[in-house]
Amino acid sequence: MHPQPEEYWGNVNTIGPTRCYDEAKRFAEAMTMAYHREHKVETRIVRIFNTYGPRMRLNDGRVVPAFISQALTNEPITIFGKGTQTRSFCYYSDLIEGILSPDDERLRSAREHRQPDRDDHAPVR
């Protein structure tokens, strides 16, 4: 189901090859909520997905590095399936900005000290 609505609780195959990844995410969210309820503190759950950015390895098996690798070598771009899939991608600095509140001092400081020639524009490896 893509795009997935926020209300969708998921369908996890508990014995499939990626079960550890899926179950670890569910466990982390459950522990966050248990901590919130027990200690009455503010918590946040961030569901990171399809994030890309500098220093990704071109052969790591993910779609963005594969597209870049194929484009750089003048190869046809591979689309698996029927080509009807939809995905949302998020650049890493947008992810960080989304996680940290715009009012957060850490984010303001990071923006003021950003070195675009280092982090935002590093080459894909």
Q: Are 39 and 29 in contact (CB under 8 A)?
A: no
Phi, psi of 16 (to 5 degrees): -80, 175
Contact 87, 50 (CB under 8 A): yes
Contacts within 8 Å (CB) and 24+ apart, 65-68: 65/124, 68/124
Catalytic residue among 21, 52, 91, 92: 21
Contact 87, 51 (CB under 8 A): no
21 belongs to the catalytic site:
yes
Q: How far apart are CA 125 and CA 108, in angstroms?
A: 29
Catalytic residues: 21
